Structure 1
Amino acid sequence: MQIKEIIKLNQSTEQELLTIWESSVRATYKFLNNDEILQIRNYVPQAFKQVEHLLIIIDHEQIKGFMGINGQKVEILFINAKARGKGYGRKLLNYGMQKLNIDELAVNEQNPKAVGFYEHMGFKVVERSATDGQSNPYPILRMKLDKEK
């Protein structure tokens, strides 16, 4: 298993990351319907291009998940639905905390497993917004690393 940073995203890898994103969202974002997922999917490739660091985790020559970071903030973290629960998210997050000093992220409140995962990893809620970045009614929790833990 290894974590690599993508310096130049090619079309093939972008499609693979988009497939991982969709599998993860369909498995965990139960509050979204199919049309909403497909609509959001259109914006995901742009998110890949807007992060300073795009990291992938590879196991058995397959990308299992990815994480995008700006500054010290995790902007995106998604694990293939078939690979969930195997430690890939933990490994990506630990890598980011150790190598890139990440200490902040935002998570959808309606994804309780993700909220619980981040809490387990040492993050705590510091702010809540009733809407997401596109003003949709999906509450977002801003979390910071609890450095007192």
Structure 2
Amino acid sequence: MQGEQVVKIRASYGPAESPALVEIWRSAVRATHDFLEESDFDRIEGNLASAYFPAVSLIVAERAGEPVGFAGIAEGNLEMLFVTDEARGEGIGTDLLNEAIANFGVTKVDVNEQNSGACGFYRSRGFAQVGRDVLDGDGRPYPTLHLELSQ
């Protein structure tokens, strides 16, 4: 069973890996972001490899040599964390978050308010809401919660 295999977190990423990470993103977002308009989904997906991945430090979770999740960090902010839908609930997101906190100084994350699973995930791991915006960073109607790690 896949869930029993060891997950390794690595802080190395090469552009050749972008298609695999985009597929993880697609799987995760299709399963958790039912509020996202199709045009926004397409726009974000089209910018992942060219704009979003290069803007962050990426860490990758792999199982049996295959990527199953990733996180992107910039200046203490967790900018992205996605786990393939097939591996959700197996602790991979927690492993990525723990690595981001311990080795990359993550203390903050913004999360879509409509993504109740992610909101609960971060809150259960010590993050507390410190702010809210009605629009997301692109000015779209996706309220964003600003969370910080409570010490």
Instruction: With the length of structure 2 as denominator, give the TM-score of the two structures.
Output: 0.91
Segments of structure 1 that go 5 or more residues without pairing to the other structure are: none
Q: CA deviation at 1:5?
A: 1.1
Q: CA deviation at 1:112?
A: 0.2
1:23 aligns to 2:27 (yes or no): yes
Aligned counterpart, 1:113? 117
Moved more, 105-114 or 36-45: 36-45
Number of residue-to-residue matches in the alignment:
144
Mapping for residues 54-65 of structure 1, pairs under 5 Å: 54-65=58-69
Give distance in 1, aligned partners of 2:47 and 2:146.
21
Aligned counterpart, 1:41? 45
Give distance in 2, aligned partners of 1:35 and 1:72.
30
Percent of aligned positions with the same letter in both sequences?
Answer: 35
| Structure 1 letter corresponding to 2:72 | G
* Cα deviation code 1:100-135 (max 9, x no counterpart): 221101000010000000000100110000011110
Higher helix share: 2
Aligned counterpart, 2:132? 128
Instruction: With the length of structure 1 as denominator, give the TM-score of the two structures.
Output: 0.92
Q: CA deviation at 1:27?
A: 0.2
Aligned counterpart, 2:10? 4
After TM superposition, where is structure 1 displaced by more than 3 Å over at least 4 residues in a row?
none
Give distance in 1, aligned partners of 2:47 and 2:129.
26
- Which of 87, 92, 105 is 1:83 aligned to? 87
Segments of structure 2 that go 5 or more residues without pairing to the other structure are: 1-6
Q: CA deviation at 1:10?
A: 2.3
